[in-house]
Amino acid sequence: MSHATQDTAVRTGRIARTFIYLVLLLFALFYLLPFFVMLANSLKPLSEITGGNMMALPQDWTIAPWLSAWSTAQIGVEPTGLRPYFLNSILMVVPAVAISTVIGALNGYILTKWRFRGDTVIFGLMLFSCFIPFQIVLIPMARMLGLMGLAGSTPGLVLVHVVYGIGFGTLYFRNYYAAFPTELVRAAQIDGAGFFQIFWRIMLPVSGPIAVVNIIWQFTNIWNDFLFGASFADLDSMPMTVALNNLVNSSTGVKEYNVHFAGAILAALPTLLVYIVAGRYFVRGLMAGSVKG
Amino acid sequence: MGFLDIRNVTKSYGAVEVLHQVDISVQEGEFLVLVGPSGCGKSTLLNMIAGLEGITSGEIAINGRVVNAVHPSKRNIAMVFQSYALYPNMSVAQNMTFGLEMHGVPKPERDKALKDVAALLQIEPLLDRKPGQLSGGQRQRVAMGRALVRDPDVFLFDEPLSNLDAKLRVDMRTEIKKLHEKLKTTVVYVTHDQIEALTLSTRIAVMNGGYVQQLGTPQEVYDDPANVFVASFMGSPSMNLIPARLRLNGQAAVEIADGAGQPVALPLTGTPGGAQDGDALLFGLRPEALTDTEGADRHARNIVTFRNPVDVVEPAGSDTFVTTTLGGKDAISRMRADTRLTPGQTCDFAVNMDKAVLFDPRTEQRLRLT
Ligand SMILES: Nc1ncnc2c1ncn2[C@@H]1O[C@H](COP(=O)(O)OP(=O)(O)OP(=O)(O)O)[C@@H](O)[C@H]1O
Ligand SMILES: [Mg+2]
């Protein structure tokens, strides 16, 4: 008797598990479908798209749309492809992420280990900056960039993104460093390490997980930003997102969907890469930041 | 003028004063222990000596130099923290030489200092490990090593043994004592463990509520406590404090109630100044001054015996603790391990009146005999 009940228990377990996997598989397919459509259609000649089925695999495989999107497609008025704008985005995102991460870490370090009168108020104000909608600052920011002579330039965009990035960076690092034992800082003080030596030699080496969290967060946000790019960049500093929009909107004559798909994938590639390379640390970092404090 | 002078130092956080007028002078080579219950201000005082906390008023001088405004790294002190505070990203060797590096000591000298201290503490095999790969006891050694390489004027220890298990704690205690006897460096050591205080120190400052209650050698603090707090904090089991009355007709004596409520007179070796016949007293008696008649100290001059019932018998290995009722309260007597007493039995107790101390029950201050 008992054997029989145990048997059913196992069988129901197996059924339940099959069911769970089936549902998960379905969801995975559902999420992957758009990517499949983009990838499949970016590898077809245009005629196969206009004349046929969006869901079908290419019959005549070609990488011509990719080459076109990268180097020859019409962006606005110039037939440059996305390449120069990809470079613009890199030149914007790398310094912006680096600077906002370093400043965020420094702020976190000061707000937890060099407490001063009113530090919580300052932290509160910094947090507040995370919630200010982009649209509100557009006009004052344009004016400021103009006054500083940075209007329409990549450094100008870097500045805007750094300003916006500091809030989140500070939040991440402050919460992470709050759990960092203050006795270590005191020991280092007695050992004769100064403000920056403590930061470089003691704090930063153990900040890996939270730095990765911050870098992924900032990188995705800044790379994907459209509004600031569209508002503050001119032709020479235009980031990838704006260029992609121009590619899709400005083609005269026939819409080259295959080129658009290839361009869109190109635009998404760096963030994808960052997730794949650093994603493992992302989850770990979030855990370390929240559970252990 | 001592080697380390704490002169009328107070500490306030906002309006709250947590240390009141602390005045301690430590001679070179002394081992001063700050002992007291949690929250009494031991760590605060130690951190003020280290320069990690500001001094609200008063001054602290090390080696003849007032250090109130001197940065921690320039005070020539080294500190061992309760959590050890080892830098997790550095190897043991790097941990130990970091301070020397920050003070601009050249590499060959650093390596030599590291080698000497590692040999002294027998941690050579650990030098390449990270703190995360060490046991608690090993971490403790490394933390001490980090302090030792600096060759400071003063060592500051903040409860360095409290994270170790009981056995290791006793071993490390002995080791710290040996180390001090060898190096003869001035030490200020914080603990809330009165045994550590008594065994390690050359002098003890017993603290409570931000006040230094008594400053003296371990023997002074133990045998000659200044007040009820010191008497009951130091010693384990703690001193019996028996409600009593003073009798001054004839020879001065204290009168306590025995187990049956009958008065027993215990003659004193002097009279407490200013006290009147019939005054209420607290009669303080260490458990080892209340024994069976065979166990009484043969060198004692004033032994008084009386009979009283035994309430509880607790064998504790080397001793047996016997509880009896005196003055309406439990009194603990320390007897030999092989005592054959059983609860309910009546026994002859011997009181060593040489060791008896009296307190005023209202002020809780000591009443000295004249
Ligand atoms: N930053 C602070 N602000 C306000 N009060 C404080 C602060 N730091 C310590 N105190 C108070 O000062 C008193 C002494 O603290 P301290 O840390 O010196 O105690 P301690 O004797 O070391 O105790 P323990 O044995 O628990 O370590 C405590 O009552 C504590 O509440
Ligand atoms: Mg403490």
Give the residue among B191, B210, B211 at the shortest CA–CA distance from B200.
Answer: B191
Indicate the number of domains in chain A.
2
Residue A30 lies in a domain: yes
**In a 3-state reduction of DSSP, which class is residue B115?**
helix
Q: How many CB atoms lie within 10 A of CB B152?
A: 19
Whole-model pTM: value is 0.81
Residue A95 lies in a domain: yes
Range of the domain at A267: 83-288
In a structure prediction context, what are the per-residue pLDDT tens digits for chain B, which is 370 residues long?
789 999 999 999 989 999 999 999 999 999 999 999 999 999 999 999 999 999 999 999 999 999 999 999 999 999 999 888 999 889 999 999 999 999 999 999 999 999 999 998 889 999 999 988 888 889 989 999 999 998 899 999 999 998 888 888 898 899 999 999 999 999 999 999 999 999 999 999 999 999 999 999 999 999 999 999 999 999 989 999 999 999 988 888 999 998 888 899 999 888 888 888 889 999 999 999 999 888 888 888 888 999 999 999 999 888 999 999 998 899 999 999 888 889 989 999 999 999 999 999 999 999 988 8
pLDDT at B269: 84
Q: Both ends of chain A: CA-CA distance in Å?
A: 51
Between CA A30 and CA A19 the distance in angstroms is 16
Contact assignment for A192 to B103 by CB distance below 8 Å = yes
Same domain, A108 and A21: no
Mark out the alpha helices in B184-237 (DSSP H runs). 194-200, 218-223, 228-233
- The pLDDT tens digits of the residues spanning B149-195 come to 988 999 999 999 988 888 888 988 999 999 999 999 999 999 999 99
Residue A122 CB contacts under 8 Å (≥ 6 apart), including other chains: A111
Same domain, A105 and A194: yes
Same domain, A276 and A161: yes
Give the residue among A235, A240, A232 at the shortest CA–CA distance from A150.
Answer: A232
Asked if ipTM goes beyond 0.85, one says no
Is residue B123 a contact partner of residue B142, using CB atoms and an 8 Å limit?
yes
Between CA B330 and CA B323 the distance in angstroms is 6
In chain B, list all ranges with CATH 2.40.50.140.
Answer: 240-367
Q: At what angle do helices A154-178 and A119-129 cross, to 10 degrees?
A: 130
Contact assignment for A181 to B83 by CB distance below 8 Å = yes
- C-alpha distances (whole Å) from A162 to each of A156, A205, B29, B243, B274 are 10, 23, 56, 73, 78
| Nearest residue, CB atoms, A192 vs list B79, B88, B99 | B99
- The answer, for B85 touching chain A at a CB cutoff of 8 Å, is yes
Give the residue among B41, B59, B61 at the shortest CA–CA distance from B154.
Answer: B61
Contact assignment for B89 to A202 by CB distance below 8 Å = yes
Q: State which residues have CB under 5 angstroms from ligand 2, the bound ion.
A: B 43
Same domain, A21 and A124: no
Same domain, A18 and A106: no
Ligand 1 contacts CB of residue B41 (under 6 A):
yes
Same domain, A46 and A138: no
Ligand 1 contacts CB of residue B14 (under 6 A):
no
pLDDT at A282: 65
Contact assignment for B85 to A183 by CB distance below 8 Å = yes
- C-alpha distances (whole Å) from B28 to each of B1, B59, B155 are 11, 18, 11
Same domain, A115 and A50: no
Same domain, A151 and A278: yes
Question: From atom 30 of ligand 1, which residue's Cα is the shortest distance away?
Answer: B39
In a structure prediction context, what are the per-residue pLDDT tens digits for chain A, which is 293 residues long?
444 444 555 566 788 888 999 999 999 999 999 888 888 888 888 888 887 777 888 888 888 888 888 888 877 777 888 888 999 999 999 999 999 999 999 999 999 988 888 888 988 988 888 888 888 888 988 898 999 988 888 899 999 999 989 999 999 999 999 988 889 999 999 999 999 999 999 999 888 888 988 999 999 999 999 999 888 888 888 899 898 888 888 656 678 888 888 899 999 999 888 888 877 776 665 554 333 32
Q: Please name which ligand lies nearest the alpha carbon of B207.
A: 1
Sheet holding B329-336, edge to edge: B312-316, B319-326, B329-336
Atom of ligand 1 nearest to the CA of B36: 21
Tokens coding B6:
């704490």
- The answer, for A117 touching chain B at a CB cutoff of 8 Å, is no
In chain B, list all ranges with CATH 3.40.50.300.
Answer: 4-233
Between CA B172 and CA B76 the distance in angstroms is 24
Tokens coding B245:
């009355």
Residue at B251: amino acid letter: Q
Beta strands in B202-248 (DSSP E): 203-208, 211-216, 240-247
Same domain, A58 and A169: no
User: Which region, left, alpha or beta, applies to residue A106 given φ > 0 means left and ψ of -120 to 50 means alpha?
Assistant: alpha
Contact assignment for A191 to B102 by CB distance below 8 Å = yes
Same domain, A129 and A255: yes
Tokens coding B287:
């458990």
Mark out the alpha helices in chain B (DSSP H runs). 42-50, 92-102, 107-121, 136-148, 166-183, 194-200, 218-223, 228-233
Same domain, A150 and A246: yes
Identify the residue whose tokens are 């960049």.
A233
The 10 Å CB-count burial string (b at 16+, else e) for A38-55 is bebbbbbbbebbeeeeee
CATH number, domain B4-233, options 3.30.1360.180, 3.40.50.300, 2.60.40.420, 1.10.10.920? 3.40.50.300
Between CA B189 and CA B255 the distance in angstroms is 41
Pick from B13, B76, B87, B142 the residue to mutate for testing the A interface (most A CBs within 10 Å): B87
Which mutation among B10, B13, B233 tests ligand 1's pocket best, with the greatest number of atoms within 8 A of CB? B13
Q: How far is A209 from chain B (nearest CA, A)?
A: 14
Residue at A227: amino acid letter: L
CATH number of the domain that residue A270 is part of: 1.10.3720.10
Residues of B in contact with A186 (CB under 8 A): 47, 50, 52, 72, 79, 81, 85
pLDDT at A218: 93
Q: Please name which ligand lies nearest the alpha carbon of B35.
A: 1
Q: Which of residues 197-226 of A touch B (CB under 8 A)?
A: 197, 201-202, 205-206
Tokens coding A46:
């245009």
Pick from A117, A185, A190 the residue to mutate for testing the B interface (most B CBs within 10 Å): A190
Is residue B337 a contact partner of residue B319, using CB atoms and an 8 Å limit?
yes
Q: How many CB atoms lie within 10 A of CB A170?
A: 26
| Nearest residue, CB atoms, A205 vs list B47, B79, B89 | B89
pLDDT at B132: 86
Superfamily of domain B240-367: Nucleic acid-binding proteins (2.40.50.140)
Pick from B52, B71, B157 the residue to mutate for testing the A interface (most A CBs within 10 Å): B52
Is residue B113 a contact partner of residue A214, using CB atoms and an 8 Å limit?
no
